[in-house]
């Protein structure tokens, strides 16, 4: 059956589940413009079939003023769903975690309202802040008093996991019915970790990934994650995992994620160089997965002014409006096609539809941990247990100075 042009089915925007006679249906938006009034009866006449999917037209009194909606029978062939994903390119409000969480909620609400997003990925260290340009008063053999105070303030802006900020992020995900991947600075006692938190669309905190290898001077302020936090979460929209910034250059870490079946590979980053996209494209091709890279876009004015906050070695050449991180957020398909981005122009929501059927098509001739592997020649062992600096063999614990 040939479908009229005005029945062309768009990607879900926004998707919503309904039921009809106890059968699940998914609500889609149809292509506009609407047909002439003389043809409009064809819309209202009866259900139609579009590519073997039952199309049930929903009419409204304001049909000229808005989109037409249809319901697609989910009992039909729907083996390769499409996921609408958004990467957020925006700056932290530095040293102000409550205000940053407020900003995160505004961006999340906009992604859902404007793009119908089912998955939203935020940049590295969005909550807590990426301390770009700061040296924390460190040189070989020397630390300064100001650097110690800088760390104290940075430590106070980090969040406990679990903690009230995690609860708020979970509530956001549940409120907007969206899967959320959020870059944070995690505070564990007096050690900080660069981490990614995962939430499902029901408002549940799923878990975290701690960056296992901080880059360069990051190692002064962040601890090292271990193999116990390299998760890939199975969700209704696909298997989701994350590697942070230059972790993505570590072949063995990537291989571990491929072995866990990652389908939507999130790459929160602080690297805005043009060459970063080459790494993201390689990972998409290598892993046969979608790659969603989210970076902040920051100007000097997004950080506190000097002398409170100083960009070491660069401060004199910076103007208030100078770009200190140009973003470059991008979404790439398993075939290496750029679906959205990169954006180097400003804060933005960068969205694309992820056709999960593309994963099987990509892995037809290259499955790096499947038919294209040689485990009898090359193999990887991942130590995925927690590594604690102190282990108590006794069952006793000390509480408030007394043995219990």
**CATH code matching the domain that covers 82-363, chosen among 3.40.50.2300, 3.40.50.720, 3.40.640.10, 3.60.110.10:** 3.60.110.10
Catalytic residues: 124
Query: Which of 142-176 are b and which e, b meaning 16 or more Cβ less than 10 Å from the residue's Cβ?
Result: eeeeebeebbeebbebbbebeeebbebbbebbbeb
Percent of the chain residues topping a pLDDT of 90: 74
pLDDT tens column, 237-271: 999 999 999 999 999 999 999 999 999 999 999 99
Strand bridging mode 264-266 / 290-293: parallel
Q: How confident is the model at residue 90 (pLDDT cuts 50, 70, 90)?
A: very high
Percent of the chain residues topping a pLDDT of 70: 78
pLDDT tens column, 313-345: 888 889 999 999 999 999 999 999 999 999 999
DSSP 8-state secondary structure symbol assigned to residue 269: B
Query: Which of 224-243 are b and which e, b meaning 16 or more Cβ less than 10 Å from the residue's Cβ?
Result: ebeeebbbbbebebbbbbbb
Would you say residue 5 has pLDDT above 90?
no
The whole-number average pLDDT for the span 157-177 is: 98
Q: Give CA angle at 210 (209, 215), nearest 5°.
A: 130
pLDDT tens column, 171-221: 999 999 999 999 999 999 999 999 999 999 999 999 999 999 999 999 999
Instruction: Residue 29: count other Cβ atoms within 10 Å of its Cβ.
Output: 18
Q: Where are the domains of the chain?
A: 5-73, 82-363
Residue 338, phi then psi, degrees to nearest 5: -80, 115
Q: Which range is most confident: 80-84, 130-134, 395-399?
A: 130-134
* DSSP letter string, 328-363: -EEEE-TTS-EEEEEE-SSSEEEEEEEETHHHHHHH
Kindly report the pTM of this predicted structure: 0.78
Position 314 scores a pLDDT of: 83
The whole-number average pLDDT for the span 148-160 is: 96
């Amino acid at each position: 059956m040939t479908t009229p042009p005005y029945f062309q089915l768009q990607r879900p925007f926004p998707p919503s589940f309904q039921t009809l006679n106890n059968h699940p249906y998914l609500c889609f938006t149809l292509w506009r413009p609407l047909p002439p009034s003389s043809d409009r009866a064809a819309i209202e006449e009866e259900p139609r079939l579009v590519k073997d999917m039952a199309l049930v037209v929903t009419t409204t009194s304001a049909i000229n003023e808005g989109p037409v909606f249809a319901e697609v029978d989910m009992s039909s062939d729907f083996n390769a769903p499409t996921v609408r994903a958004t990467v957020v390119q925006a700056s932290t409000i530095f040293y102000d975690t409550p205000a940053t969480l407020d900003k995160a909620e505004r961006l999340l609400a906009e992604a859902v309202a404007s793009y119908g997003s089912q998955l939203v990925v935020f940049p590295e260290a969005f909550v807590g802040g990426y301390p770009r340009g700061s040296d924390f008063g460190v040189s070989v053999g020397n630390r300064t008093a100001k650097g110690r105070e800088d760390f104290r303030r940075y430590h106070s802006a980090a969040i406990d996991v679990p903690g009230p900020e995690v609860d708020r992020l979970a509530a956001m995900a549940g409120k907007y019915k969206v899967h959320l991947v959020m870059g944070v600075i995690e505070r564990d006692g007096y050690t900080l970790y660069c981490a990614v938190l995962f939430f499902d669309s029901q408002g549940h905190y799923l878990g975290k990934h701690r960056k296992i290898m901080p880059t360069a001077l990051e190692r002064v302020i962040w601890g090292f994650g271990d193999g116990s936090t390299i998760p890939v979460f199975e969700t209704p929209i696909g298997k989701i995992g994350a590697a942070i910034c230059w972790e993505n250059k570590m072949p063995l870490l990537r291989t571990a994620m491929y072995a866990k079946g990652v389908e939507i590979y999130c790459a929160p980053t602080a690297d805005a160089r043009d060459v970063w996209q080459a790494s993201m494209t390689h990972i998409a091709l290598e892993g046969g997965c979608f790659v969603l890279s989210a970076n902040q876009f920051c100007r000097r004015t997004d950080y506190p002014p000097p002398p409170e906050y100083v960009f070491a070695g660069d401060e004199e050449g910076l103007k208030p409006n100078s770009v200190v991180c140009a973003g470059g957020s991008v979404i790439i398909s398993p075939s290496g096609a750029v679906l959205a981005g990169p954006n180097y122009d400003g804060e933005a929501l960068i969205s694309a539809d992820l056709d999960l059927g593309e994963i099987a098509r990509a892995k037809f001739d290259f499955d790096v941990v499947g038919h294209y592997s040689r485990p009898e020649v090359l193999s990887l062992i991942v130590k995925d247990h927690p590594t604690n600096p102190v282990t108590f063999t006794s069952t006793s614990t000390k509480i408030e100075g007394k043995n219990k």
